[in-house]
Amino acid sequence: MGAALLPDAAFGILPRCSIAPRHPLICRITSTRLIRKRNYFFADKRVSKSAHIVFSHTNDSDDTFTDVVVDQDSGRNEVIGIEDELMIAKKALSEAHHRQEVIEKERDQLLEELARSEAKKQEYITTILHDKEVAIGELEAAKSLFQKNLEESVAEKFTLESKLVLAKQDAVDLAVQVEKLAEVAFQQATSHILEDAQLRISSAETTAAEAAHLIEKQIKDATEGTISSIVEKSNYAIERALVVAEEAGELAKKSMETFIDGTSPFTEIAAVQAENIKLQGIISDIESQLMIARNEADKLKLELEITRQQLQAFEQRANDAEKALLDFQESSRKNTLKQEEEMKSILEKVKKDVAERMKAVSKAFKADLKNTKATVEAAKEVVHCKDYAYLRRCEALQRSLKASEDALKMWRQRAEMVETLLSKERLHDEGDEDSIYVVNGGRIDLLTDVDSQKWKLLSDGPRREIPQWMARRIKAVSPKFPPKKIDVAEALTSKFRSLELPTVDEVWSIAQEKPKEGDALIEHVYERETIERKRKALESALQRKTIQWQRAPEQTKLEPGTGTGTGREIVFQGFNWESWRRGWYLELAAKTADLSHCGVTAVWLPPPTQSVSPQGYMPSDLYNLNSSYGSVEELKYCIEEMHSQDLMALGDVVLNHRCAQKQSPNGVWNIFGGNLAWGPEAIVCDDPNFEGRGNPSSGDIFHAAPNIDHSQDFVRKDIKGWLNWLRNDIGFDGWRLDFVRGFSGTYVKEYIEASNPVFAIGEYWDSLAYEHGSLCYNQDAHRQRIINWINATGGTSSAFDITTKGILHSALHNEYWRLIDPQGKPTGVMGWWPSRAVTFLENHDTGSTQGHWPFPRDKLMQGYAYILTHPGTPVIFYDHFYDFGIHDVITELIEARRQAGIHCRSSIKIYHANNEGYVAHVGDALVMKLGQFDWNPSKENQLDGSWQKFVDKGTDYQVWLRQ
């Protein structure tokens, strides 16, 4: 039989299908069937047979397939079975198509997850880089902190040097302790910084490793899950396709057998072959998809490898950072060793200087001891002279007593003569029995027989005036004396006649006699007066020029080349802002006796030089002392009056700026006249108004006048010469330094060492810390700036305690807790360096007619009670002392300070400081209270001894002194 050619219409095209896992095989066939007749050809013959062709068309796809059914009664059942099988195959292919769509969606989801993984990877990389930058920043911060600690160590070194100057005898032990403390503090600070940096770097490395591990795990899980899913789906699709193919083959065989038995089997064979071809296409498509999935898995593996390489790079960077940290630690250790060696060398130098100074102090002490011995010898000589004078006086008194005894003998002889005369007269007048003359006892016995009169002559001498009580007693004695040895009854009945005895003036005429020339008493008096004058002169000289070794060193020690005084100064500001309007020097000279009597030891005088402003703070010709306050002669007279009352004179010197006398060719006032004829080279170059040619300023600029360049050698030489002229020729004892913020404190040290003042005060004015308009409790930064300036002067100058003034403004309004810091000390400069703190309430700037920062008027006496009973050097303002009516109250507080022995270095213990009041124990012998706090020394268990109230002003303040 020949081959049968079947038309194309007899076969349907199988559509592509996708395999969707986890879903059952569901085939939905919607079709319309058309039956038509067809002709079949066998070889060359044409066989015409009537048959029904069933076409099935699906609306879901463009592909169609045709079911061929032999419209014969004998083969209808077999054709319907084939149709059912074909319907099942169609359903499987539809399900495969649906599965393909699901796989595409999952592939899209995988791509999205990959993109998210990439984004997370970039985020982790950014985080790691940020952590690296943070670690580097922390390393830089550690480095800056190390530098800051180093600077603080240097500042601490200067503080130690200043303390070593103040405590020479304990300098060596103190230096060793400071060295140990600095070493421990430095090691602790550096170890803390390095440990913190190492921990932060370790944390960054751990974070980076965890992030990398997490990324790797996520990518690995996603890749393995995707590949396994794709492989499982592919195997399942292949197995299902093979099963379908085998079933189709079996059906095809059956169909062939049926067609062989029937009329036309070739149509079924062709259909089965077409199905097989389509199944092979489906398998090839699945294999291609599997290849694509494998390629995507390879890409993911490549990306994973790149991520691992990046992690290795991050680990390398972390290792580099760790190595840099180790290098930094090594360099820090080397720098630490270097700093320790430098500190050791500095401390050795300080020890050497201290040893030299100790030798100098020992030498000076030996000289003082020698002077003291000479003084003791002189005192012994004075005592010997005094004893010799007393011996001579006793000899003179003995001579006087002998003369008195001679006079007494003469009076007795006269009495005996009178008695004899009276006896004779009585013999002649025997008839007058009632007339009785008293001859025994009486006035003479009263004056001569009492031993007390002899001792009176021996002790007081015969030439003293009659005491008033003795004169009254003598006048009260009646000249009529009864008989000494008669009966009382007889005395009452007898009549007697009084003797005509000498009068009182005649008896005591020896007391009214004047010394005669050549008398020993006159020589004794003259000699005594001469010795007394010599003794007073010697004591005055010893008080001014020697140190008494019996007193404590802190009470009398005057360090050479420093302006710190003895520690017991009480300064009086002797002017206000309007004092220039009258002859002030003469007016102040008249008050020196009162100031000295009240306990003041030093007077701060106004600026003495000629000035553009009448107050004196814009000086021009420094050597011209004829100012608005008076002439140079009046100034010298005022200083002499102060010296006569043992008062020191402090001159107000303005060294920061000076007004020029001439203009430059440019019209700028920068040419000075007088003895110090400077030019623009003496003015700092950063002064914006006066075209200076000097070096930059070492402080703040005072814009009202040219600022002097103290770095110039000729300027410092001229200023030192001027200060020495004021000191030696005019008579000033010390300085008040105006506006010291304008130039470095090192120049102040040079000027003080050159002029050698007894006392010096610097005005370092700075603003306190405020928050929301209220004064901050912590003012450590403010007082530290003042301490830094004092350190810059080498401790040679004191400074105004502006911190304490500002705190008192608020503390005295029931905020007494402001007067104690966390260490239990006062909150001003007084709490840190009391021997250099000069406390005050007002001056010519803050008070007077300017009133820039006046002290509360109702708290004025509480303020003086605080500064006059506490360590430091207190200052009393002229207006308060003479114009506010509190002269006697301030004098009383000064007396309390004197009796308690309070000085600038006195110890202080604060017992209470709250809203109700303030209580402090100062020194060893004074306790004071401020405010309405109900307290007295008996209520404090830690206070021993007996206390007596010295000043009581109720709720304002109270002062107790130890009995």
Cβ contacts of 394 within 8 Å, gap of 6 or more: none
pLDDT value at position 654? Answer: 97
Q: Which of 576, 500, 554 is nearest to 844 (CA)?
A: 576
Q: Which residue has the higher pLDDT, 318 or 580?
A: 580
Catalytic residue among 67, 621, 750, 763: 763
- Paired sense of beta strands 648-653 and 734-737, if any: parallel
pLDDT digits (tens, 9 = 90+) for 604-629: 999 999 999 999 999 999 999 999 99
- Whether the per-residue pLDDT at 701 is higher than 70: the answer is yes
State residue 394 phi and psi, 5-degree precision.
-60, -40
Q: Which residue has the higher pLDDT, 133 or 19?
A: 133
Catalytic site residue 858?
A: no
pLDDT value at position 285? Answer: 77
pLDDT category, 854, cuts 50, 70, 90? very high
- Whether the per-residue pLDDT at 95 is higher than 60: the answer is yes
pLDDT digits (tens, 9 = 90+) for 631-657: 999 999 999 999 999 999 999 999 999
pLDDT value at position 46? Answer: 40
State residue 641 phi and psi, 5-degree precision.
-65, -40
Percent of the chain predicted with pLDDT > 70: 66
First to last CA, the chain: 155
pLDDT category, 403, cuts 50, 70, 90? confident
Angle between helices 860-867 and 802-811 (to 10 degrees): 130
Q: Which residue has the higher pLDDT, 780 or 101?
A: 780
- Whether the per-residue pLDDT at 438 is higher than 60: the answer is no
Cβ contacts of 272 within 8 Å, gap of 6 or more: 248, 249, 251, 252, 255, 256
On whether the CB atoms of residues 132 and 204 are closer than 8 A, the answer is: yes
State residue 799 phi and psi, 5-degree precision.
-145, 150
**671-675: average pLDDT:** 91
Q: Which residue has the higher pLDDT, 281 or 736?
A: 736
pLDDT digits (tens, 9 = 90+) for 827-845: 999 999 999 999 999 999 9
- Whether the per-residue pLDDT at 6 is higher than 80: the answer is no
Catalytic residue among 718, 738, 821, 879: 738
Point out the least confidently predicted range of 427-436, 443-452, 677-686: 443-452
- Whether the per-residue pLDDT at 379 is higher than 80: the answer is no
pLDDT value at position 47? Answer: 38
- Whether the per-residue pLDDT at 857 is higher than 80: the answer is yes
pLDDT value at position 457? Answer: 52
- Whether the per-residue pLDDT at 234 is higher than 60: the answer is yes
pLDDT value at position 127? Answer: 79
**Hey, which of 121-135, 191-205, 254-268, 693-707 has the most confident mean pLDDT?**
693-707
d(CA 630, CA 29): 130
pLDDT value at position 534? Answer: 60
pLDDT digits (tens, 9 = 90+) for 63-84: 433 343 344 454 566 667 777 8
Alpha helices in 628-701 (DSSP H): 632-644
State residue 917 phi and psi, 5-degree precision.
175, -175
pLDDT value at position 433? Answer: 42
pLDDT category, 287, cuts 50, 70, 90? confident
pLDDT value at position 804? Answer: 97
Using only C-alpha atoms, the chain has a radius of gyration, in whole angstroms, of: 61
Q: Which residue has the higher pLDDT, 148 or 506?
A: 148
Place of tokens 């403390």: 181
Adjacent-strand bridge partners of 877: 573
pLDDT value at position 27? Answer: 35
- Whether the per-residue pLDDT at 404 is higher than 50: the answer is yes
Q: Which residue has the higher pLDDT, 290 or 254?
A: 290
Alpha helices in 167-265 (DSSP H): 171-261
On whether the CB atoms of residues 658 and 620 are closer than 8 A, the answer is: yes
- Whether the per-residue pLDDT at 542 is higher than 70: the answer is no
Place of tokens 């002030």: 584
**Hey, which of 107-116, 371-380, 502-511 has the most confident mean pLDDT?**
107-116
Point out the least confidently predicted range of 61-75, 591-605, 949-963: 61-75
pLDDT digits (tens, 9 = 90+) for 175-230: 566 666 666 766 666 666 667 666 766 666 676 667 667 766 766 676 666 667 76
**927-951: average pLDDT:** 90
For the record, the structure tokens of 596 come out as 């000295």
**105-123: average pLDDT:** 82
d(CA 873, CA 875): 7
- Paired sense of beta strands 774-775 and 837-839, if any: unpaired
d(CA 41, CA 1): 12
Cβ contacts of 463 within 8 Å, gap of 6 or more: 400, 510, 511, 513, 514, 515, 521
Q: Which of 509, 510, 484, 512 is nearest to 499 (CA)?
A: 484
For the record, the structure tokens of 537 come out as 């002169």
pLDDT category, 506, cuts 50, 70, 90? low
pLDDT category, 812, cuts 50, 70, 90? very high
pLDDT digits (tens, 9 = 90+) for 885-922: 999 999 999 999 999 999 999 999 999 999 999 999 99
pLDDT category, 933, cuts 50, 70, 90? confident
Percent of the chain predicted with pLDDT > 90: 37
pLDDT category, 805, cuts 50, 70, 90? very high
pLDDT category, 281, cuts 50, 70, 90? confident
Catalytic site residue 763?
A: yes
Cβ contacts of 78 within 8 Å, gap of 6 or more: 254, 255, 258
Adjacent-strand bridge partners of 762: 737, 799
pLDDT category, 925, cuts 50, 70, 90? very high
pLDDT value at position 271? Answer: 67
pLDDT value at position 579? Answer: 94
Distances (CA, A) of 660 to 580, 623, 709: 22, 14, 14
**710-717: average pLDDT:** 96
Q: What angle do CA 928, 933, 936 make, to 5 degrees?
A: 50
Alpha helices in 602-744 (DSSP H): 632-644, 713-725
Q: Across 48-199, where does the E strand assignment appear?
A: 53-56, 65-68
On whether the CB atoms of residues 231 and 292 are closer than 8 A, the answer is: no
Rounded mean pLDDT of the chain? 76
